[in-house]
C-alpha cells in the first residue's frame, strides 16, 4: 500500500507527538454495569412485505419489540407542487439523520366540491407515501380533518365554508363530510401502513390542537367518532392528537373508546420563543397541570410539533413580517440544540420538527396571516438548500440512530456542574449502564466547567445559550467510552474497524477517554490529536475544526478489531454520511449530500450532490475496492484510516447563467368595469339565506362569494339598475382576509380603491376582517347621472380581492366568515339593484381548485402557457402608469441548465415601496404567489423545478392590480439562482 504524504507524516509523528493529559486526577467511569452490549440500531424501514407490530411503553415506541426513537421532520407535499422534488427533500432529510417525515394532508387541496376527491398529479398522496418508503423514512400522517397549518380555512375545503352544521363538533352534517374525506384518504393510507409491510406509515393523527370542546360531550363524541372512523377504515397503527398547550387534553382514556390502552398516544406541541429558557415538558420535567408528557405517564414522551422556525406574517401594521432570514437568525442551530436536547433529557423519544422543509403556500393556499413563502426558517430552505441549522439536526439524528441506549432513559441521580451557570440533566439507561449528561448554558457567556459529581474532571465547554450532550459508560463498538467532553455523533462498524465520531463547535477541545485493558498503539492520522495512556485508560484529545476531519486509530489494545476515532466540527460533521446497506454499513465523507449507496460485487455505487470541489472517502464493508460517484468510476487508494480515498477531488458545480426577462407584452384585464360588458352568463346573486357566520343585512341579498360557489381568489360583482339619477355616494361593506382590497367603478368610471385595514388583534383573532368602503361620486359622474335619460341603465362594477378564509384554530367556525361584498347602500337614491357575481369558473383539473381566482384573464386562460398573446402590446419594464384596474404582462424565457445540475431558480420583484400595486405570479399557468409591493416582506418567489422547465421554454404571466393612487409597476422583474448542485434527482415535468 502506498502511503500518502499526509499519512506518512502522521505515522512518523506518532512516536514523538503523544503528550500527557493535564486534566486533574484520573477520571472514573460514571456507569458501573456498563458492559451489557447494546443491540444494533433499528433497521431502516421499507415496504418489505412483512407484517410489523407497532407498540410502545412509557419510554419509547416498540417496533417489532425493538425500541425506536422518532426523529422526524415536517414537510407538506402540498407546499411543493412538483412530485419529483418530494424525493429530493426526503432523501436530504434521510441523509441528515431524520428517520421519519410528518405530513399534513390538506382536505382543500384534494377536494374541489363535495363528493369529489382528487389524488392525482401534484395531489398524489400514494406516490408521496411510496417515495417516503423507498427513501427509508417512517411517515407520521396527519390528515385532519382540520389541520390549521397556516392554510386557507385551516385545510377545510372552500365549499365546506358554505355548508350547514358546526364544524369540529359532532354535528351530523359536518361528520358526513368528514366521513367522505377520511374514507378517501384512508383508502390510500390503509395500503401504505408499516404494520402491513406495504408502506411506512407508522403513526396517524386525528384533529389538530383541538381544545375548544374538550370538556363538552360534543367534543368528546367528535374525537371518539374520528377515532372509530379511522379504525373502521383499517388504520391499525397508533393514533394520537397534538395538544396545543401541554394541558393534558386527549390523554388515553379521556374520550370514549379513543383512549383504548396501547393504541392511543398523547402528544403535545411546543413553540418556545427564542429568549425562553427551555421548559421541562417531559416525563422527567417539573410536572403539574402544564407538565406535558407527565399528563400521560404510560405513553412515551411525544412532541408532534416542535418549532424548527416560525411562520412570518405580511409586512406592515402590528404583524410586521420581517422575512425568513430573521426566523433563521433567531432560531439558529444553538436554539435548536438547546431545545431539542432539553426535550431528549426530559424523556421525549418521539420528536417532530415543524417545519423541516416549509415550502411554498402557492396559489390561494396561504391562510390570511401569511404570505406565499412558507420557508419557516426551517433547516432546509424553501429553495431546498441545506442551512447551517442542519448541524444540530444531523448530529442528534445520527446519534439517536446509532446509539440505541438513548431510547430508554431514566432520570439519574442529581449532578451539579462545578460552575453553577451550567444546568445538568443526568440520564441513565438502566439496561446498558450508559449515562448521559445534558449540559445547558442559559447564560450569555461561554462557560467551561468540570463535572466532579460524574467523575469528569476535565473541563467541558458550553458556549453561551447553547447545550451539549455528553456520554459516559457508553459502549462504542467493542470498546467502552469512559466519557468525552464533546457530543458523540455515531458509532458503527464498517469492514474491519469500529468507527466512532465525535462532533462539536469549532474551537472546542475534544477529550475522549476509553477503557483499554492493554496499552494500545494509537496511530495519529492527522497532526492535531494527541493521547496518553494511564492505568487502563486511553486519553485522546483533539481540537475541533483546526483541520477538517481529525483521526486517531487505536489497535493492539487487547481488542481484536481496531477502532477509528473521528473528530469533526459542525461544518465537517454535516459532510459525514453513515449509510446502511444489506451487506453492511458505510461511512462516506466529503460531498454535500449522499443520496444512496448500493454495493454490487466489489464496487460501491454512490449517488449524491456536490456544490464545490470536494474530497471523497468511503469506509465500507470488507471486499469493497471500487467506488463510483453518480455513475462515474472514482479512482481511489486505501488510506491510513482504512478508507477508500479518491485520488482526485470530485468536481463542484458550474452555476448556470440565467436569462434576463424581456420581450414583455401587456393587456388591460378588467373589461368587467365597462357598463356594456356582457355578464349574462354570470350567476345572479339573489340568495336570502346563508350558513355563513356573517349576518345578512336586512332587505339585501346574500352577496358572499362562497354562497355562489366561488371559493378562492378574486371575485367580480356587477350591480345593475335603472333610473335613480340622484345618487351621490355608495358604501360597499366587504369582508376579506389580511391585505384584501376592493375596487369600484360606476358606469365605467373609477370610484376608487379601498384597502382592508388591519383590525385590532382581538378582531383579527376572531377572523373579523370587515370594512366599509365609502365612495362619493365625483361631480363629473353626478352630473352625468343627472343628465342621463330617466330610465338610464347604470352598472356598479366591483372587484374584491378577498384573500383567504380564516383558519378556525379555536373551533368557532371562523372559516365561515363571509368573503366578498356583504352589504351595499346608497345615498341620494335607493336603486333596486340586480346583482350578478363571477369568480373562478371550473377548477383547473391539473393545478387544482386553489390555483385560480376570478380575474378576467384567469377565466380566459391568459395565465396559461398555450395562450396566444400575439395581439398584445409590447411593453418595457419598469412600467409606471397610473390606472385603477388589472393589467396583465406576459413574457417567455428559456433555461438551459446542464443535465445533472439541480438549479433552484427564483423570481425577484422589486420596486419603489411607495407604489401601491400587487402582482399575482403565474409560471406556466401555475399560480406561484402574490407580491404586494407596498407591504412586503417577500420579494423572492421560488419556482419549483418541474413547473419551471430548467431545459426549455417557460411562460411567465403577471396579473397586476393597481389602485391608481400611485404609478404602478412591475418595476424590476428578474430571475435569480437560489441554489445549485451537481447531482439532484430526475425531475419530471409537472
What residues make contact with ligand IPT under the rule CB under 6 A? 147-150, 208-209, 244, 269, 271, 305, 311
Cβ proximity to ligand IPT: between 148 and 670 the closer is 148
DSSP secondary-structure letter at 694? S
Q: Is the peptide bond before 355 cis (omega within 30 degrees of 0)?
A: yes
Beta-carbon neighbour count of residue 633 at 10 Å? 11
C-alpha cell at 208: 389538530
| Angle in degrees, CA 186, 192, 195, rounded to 5 | 105
Alpha carbons 989 and 866: distance in angstroms, whole number: 15
By C-beta, is 371 or 716 nearer to ligand IPT?
371
From residue 712, give the alpha-carbon distance in Å to each of 364, 677, 705.
6, 23, 9
Task: Provide, rounded to whole angstroms, the least separation between the CB of residue 87 and ligand IPT.
Answer: 24
Closer to ligand IPT at the Cβ: 109 or 244? 244
Cell of 904: 433552484
d(CA 850, CA 157): 10
Which C-beta is closer to ligand IPT: that of 311 or that of 436? 311
Determine which helix (DSSP H) or strand (DSSP E) holds 7, and give its type and residue range.
helix 5-17
CB 161 within 8 A of CB 98: no
**Nine cell digits for residue 874:** 409590447
Q: Which is nearer to ligand IPT, 268 or 862 (CB)?
A: 268
The grid coordinates listed for 456 are 469528569
Dihedral sign, Cα of residue 311, residue 314, residue 320, residue 326: positive
CA 181 → CA 197, 229, 405, 740, distances in Å? 24, 11, 41, 30
The distance of closest approach from Cβ of residue 851 to ligand IPT in the complex, given in angstroms and rounded to an integer, is 22
User: For 497-600, where are the E strands, in sequence order?
Assistant: 497-504, 509-515, 521-524, 530-534, 537-543, 550-555, 563-569, 576-581, 584-589, 593-600
Q: How far apart are CA 510 and CA 565, in angstroms?
A: 11
Task: Map residue 152 onto helix, strand or coil.
Answer: helix
Nearer to ligand IPT, 60 or 352 (CB): 352
**Cα 507 to Cα 259, 457, 500, 512, distances in angstroms:** 50, 20, 20, 16
How much is the CA Rg of the chain, to the nearest whole Å?
31
How many angstroms separate the CA atoms of 161 and 819, rounded?
10
Nearest approach, Cβ of residue 369 and ligand IPT (Å): 9
In the bound state, the residue with its beta carbon closest to ligand IPT is 148
Q: Is the CB of 269 or the CB of 375 nearer to ligand IPT?
A: 269
Cis peptide before 145 (omega within 30 of 0): yes
DSSP state of 984: -
Q: Beta partners for 951?
A: 896
Angle at 325 between CA 322 and CA 330, to 5 degrees: 90
Residue 195 CB neighbours (<10 A): 19
Work out how close the CB of 245 gets to ligand IPT at its nearest, in angstroms, rounded to a whole number.
8
Query: What is the distance between the alpha carbons of residues 749 and 670, in angstroms, rounded to a whole number?
Result: 12
Three-state SS at 51: coil
- Pick between residue 147 and residue 653 the one whose CB is nearest to ligand IPT: 147
Closer to ligand IPT at the Cβ: 209 or 381? Answer: 209
3-state secondary structure of 397: helix
62-99: b (≥16 Cβ within 10 Å) or e: bbeebbbbbbbbbbbbbbbbbbbbbbbbbbbbbbbbbb
Q: Report the residue number, 327 or 438, with the smaller CB distance to ligand IPT.
A: 327
Task: Please give the Cα distance from 503 to 508 (Å, whole number).
Answer: 9
Distance CA 208, CA 240 (A): 10
Residue placing its CB nearer to ligand IPT in the complex, 148 or 725: 148
Cα–Cα dist 838/857, whole Å: 13
Closest CA to 192 of 303, 52, 56, 352: 52
Q: Considering the complex, state which of residue 144 and residue 562 has its C-beta at the smaller distance from ligand IPT.
A: 144
CB of 672 to ligand IPT, least distance (A): 36
> What's the gap between Cα 299 and its chain centre?
26
Closest by CA to 380, choosing from 309, 311, 467, 312, is 309
Given a contact cutoff of 8 angstroms between Cβ atoms, the answer to whether 403 and 578 are in contact is no
Between the CA of residue 925 and those of 624, 862, 940, 990, what are the distances in Å? Answer: 49, 8, 18, 11
Catalytic residues: 209, 305
Crossing angle (nearest 10°) for helices 217-232 and 172-189: 30
- Residue 148 CB, shortest distance to ligand IPT, in Å, is 3
Residues in the chain, total: 990
**Cβ proximity to ligand IPT, 74 vs 844, nearer residue:** 74
Amino acid at each position: 500500500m502506498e502511503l500518502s504524504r499526509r499519512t506518512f507524516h502522521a505515522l512518523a509523528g506518532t512516536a514523538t507527538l503523544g503528550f500527557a493529559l493535564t486534566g486533574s486526577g484520573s477520571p472514573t467511569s460514571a456507569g458501573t454495569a456498563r458492559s451489557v452490549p447494546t443491540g444494533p440500531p433499528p433497521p431502516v424501514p421499507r415496504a418489505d412485505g412483512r407484517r410489523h407490530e407497532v407498540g410502545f411503553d412509557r419510554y419509547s415506541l416498540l417496533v417489532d419489540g425493538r425500541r425506536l426513537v422518532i426523529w422526524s421532520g415536517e414537510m407538506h407535499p402540498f407546499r411543493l407542487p412538483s412530485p419529483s422534488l418530494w424525493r429530493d427533500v426526503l432523501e436530504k432529510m434521510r441523509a441528515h439523520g431524520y428517520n421519519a417525515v410528518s405530513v399534513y394532508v390538506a382536505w382543500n387541496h384534494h377536494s374541489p366540491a363535495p363528493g369529489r376527491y382528487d389524488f392525482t398529479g401534484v395531489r398524489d398522496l400514494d406516490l408521496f407515501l411510496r417515495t417516503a418508503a423507498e427513501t427509508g423514512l417512517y411517515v407520521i400522517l396527519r390528515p385532519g380533518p382540520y389541520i390549521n397549518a397556516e392554510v386557507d380555512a385551516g385545510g377545510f375545503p372552500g365549499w365546506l365554508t358554505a355548508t350547514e352544521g358546526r364544524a369540529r363538533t359532532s354535528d351530523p352534517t359536518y361528520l358526513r363530510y368528514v366521513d367522505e374525506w377520511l374514507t378517501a384518504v384512508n383508502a390510500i393510507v390503509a395500503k401504505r401502513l408499516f404494520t402491513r409491510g406495504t408502506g411506512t406509515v407508522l403513526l396517524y393523527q386525528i384533529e389538530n390542537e383541538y381544545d375548544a370542546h374538550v370538556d363538552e360531550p360534543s367534543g368528546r363524541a367528535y374525537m371518539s367518532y374520528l377515532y372509530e372512523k379511522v379504525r373502521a377504515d383499517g388504520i391499525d397503527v397508533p393514533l394520537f392528537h397534538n395538544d396545543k398547550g401541554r394541558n393534558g387534553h386527549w390523554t388515553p382514556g379521556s374520550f370514549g373508546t379513543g383512549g383504548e390502552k396501547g393504541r392511543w398516544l398523547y402528544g403535545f406541541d411546543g413553540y418556545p420563543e427564542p429568549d425562553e429558557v427551555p421548559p421541562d415538558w417531559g416525563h422527567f420535567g417539573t410536572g403539574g397541570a402544564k407538565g406535558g408528557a407527565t399528563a400521560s405517564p404510560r405513553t412515551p414522551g411525544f412532541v408532534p410539533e416542535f418549532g424548527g422556525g416560525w411562520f412570518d406574517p405580511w409586512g406592515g401594521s402590528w404583524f410586521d413580517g420581517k422575512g425568513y432570514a430573521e426566523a433563521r437568525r433567531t432560531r439558529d442551530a444553538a436554539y435548536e440544540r438547546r431545545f431539542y436536547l432539553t426535550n431528549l433529557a426530559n424523556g421525549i423519544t418521539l420528536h417532530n420538527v415543524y417545519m423541516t422543509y416549509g415550502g411554498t403556500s402557492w396559489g390561494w393556499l396561504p391562510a390570511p396571516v401569511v404570505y406565499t413563502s412558507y420557508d419557516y426558517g426551517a433547516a432546509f430552505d424553501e429553495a431546498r438548500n441545506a442551512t447551517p441549522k442542519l448541524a444540530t439536526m444531523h448530529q442528534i439524528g445520527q446519534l439517536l440512530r446509532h446509539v440505541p441506549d438513548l431510547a430508554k432513559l431514566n432520570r439519574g441521580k442529581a449532578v451539579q456542574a462545578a460552575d453553577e451557570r451550567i444546568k445538568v440533566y443526568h440520564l441513565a439507561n438502566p439496561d446498558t449502564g450508559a449515562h448521559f449528561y445534558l449540559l445547558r448554558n442559559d447564560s450569555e457567556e461561554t462557560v467551561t466547567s468540570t463535572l466532579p459529581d460524574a467523575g469528569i474532571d476535565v473541563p467541558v465547554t458550553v458556549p453561551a445559550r447553547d447545550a451539549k450532550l455528553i456520554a459516559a459508560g457508553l459502549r462504542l463498538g467493542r470498546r467502552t467510552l469512559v466519557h468525552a467532553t464533546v457530543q458523540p455523533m455515531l458509532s458503527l462498524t464498517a469492514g474491519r474497524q469500529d468507527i466512532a465520531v465525535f462532533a462539536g463547535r469549532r474551537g472546542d477541545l475534544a477529550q475522549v477517554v476509553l477503557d483499554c485493558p492493554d496499552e494500545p498503539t494509537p496511530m495519529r492520522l492527522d497532526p492535531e490529536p494527541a493521547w496518553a495512556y494511564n492505568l487502563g485508560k486511553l486519553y485522546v484529545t483533539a481540537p475541533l475544526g483546526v483541520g477538517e476531519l481529525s483521526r486517531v486509530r487505536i489497535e493492539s489494545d487487547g481488542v481484536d478489531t481496531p477502532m477509528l476515532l473521528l473528530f469533526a466540527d459542525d461544518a465537517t460533521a454535516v459532510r459525514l454520511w453513515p449509510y446502511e446497506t444489506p451487506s453492511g454499513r458505510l461511512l462516506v465523507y466529503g460531498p454535500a449530500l449522499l443520496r444512496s449507496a448500493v454495493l454490487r460485487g466489489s464496487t460501491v455505487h454512490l449517488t449524491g450532490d456536490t456544490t464545490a470541489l470536494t474530497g471523497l472517502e468511503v469506509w465500507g464493508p470488507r471486499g469493497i475496492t471500487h467506488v463510483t460517484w453518480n455513475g462515474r468510476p472514482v479512482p481511489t487508494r486505501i488510506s491510513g484510516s482504512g478508507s477508500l480515498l479518491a485520488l482526485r477531488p470530485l468536481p463542484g458545480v458550474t452555476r448556470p447563467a440565467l436569462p434576463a426577462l424581456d420581450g414583455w407584452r401587456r393587456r388591460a384585464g378588467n373589461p368587467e368595469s365597462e357598463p356594456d360588458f356582457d355578464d349574462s352568463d354570470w350567476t345572479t346573486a339573489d340568495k336570502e339565506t346563508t350558513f355563513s357566520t356573517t349576518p345578512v343585512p336586512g332587505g339585501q341579498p346574500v352577496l358572499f362569494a362562497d354562497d355562489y360557489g366561488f371559493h378562492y381568489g378574486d371575485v367580480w360583482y356587477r350591480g345593475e339598475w335603472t333610473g335613480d339619477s340622484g345618487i351621490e355616494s355608495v358604501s360597499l361593506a366587504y369582508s376579506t382576509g389580511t391585505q384584501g382590497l376592493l375596487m369600484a367603478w360606476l358606469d365605467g368610471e373609477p370610484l376608487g380603491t379601498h384597502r382592508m385595514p388591519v383590525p385590532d388583534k382581538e378582531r383579527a383573532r376572531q377572523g373579523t376582517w370587515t370594512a366599509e368602503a365609502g365612495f362619493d361620486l365625483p361631480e363629473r359622474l353626478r352630473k352625468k347621472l343627472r343628465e342621463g335619460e330617466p330610465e338610464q341603465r347604470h352598472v356598479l362594477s366591483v372587484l374584491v380581492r378577498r384573500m383567504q378564509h380564516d383558519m378556525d384554530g379555536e373551533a368557532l367556525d371562523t372559516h365561515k366568515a363571509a368573503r366578498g361584498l356583504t352589504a351595499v347602500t346608497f345615498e341620494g337614491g335607493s336603486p333596486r339593484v340586480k346583482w350578478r357575481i363571477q369568480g373562478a369558473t371550473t377548477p383547473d383539473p391539473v393545478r387544482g381548485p386553489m390555483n385560480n381566482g376570478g380575474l378576467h384573464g384567469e377565466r380566459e386562460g391568459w395565465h396559461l402557457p398555450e395562450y396566444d398573446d400575439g395581439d398584445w402590446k409590447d411593453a418595457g419594464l419598469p412600467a409606471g402608469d397610473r390606472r385603477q384596474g388589472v393589467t396583465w404582462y406576459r413574457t417567455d424565457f428559456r433555461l438551459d441548465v446542464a443535465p445533472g445540475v439541480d438549479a433552484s431558480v427564483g423570481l425577484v420583484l422589486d420596486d419603489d415601496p411607495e407604489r401601491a400595486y400587487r402582482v399575482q405570479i403565474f409560471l406556466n399557468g401555475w399560480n406561484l404567489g402574490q407580491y404586494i409591493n407596498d407591504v412586503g416582506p417577500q420579494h423572492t418567489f421560488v419556482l419549483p423545478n418541474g413547473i419551471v422547465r430548467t431545459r426549455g421554454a417557460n411562460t411567465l404571466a403577471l396579473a397586476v392590480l393597481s389602485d391608481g393612487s400611485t404609478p404602478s409597476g412591475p418595476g424590476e422583474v428578474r430571475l435569480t439562482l437560489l441554489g445549485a448542485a451537481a447531482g439532484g434527482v430526475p425531475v419530471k415535468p409537472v
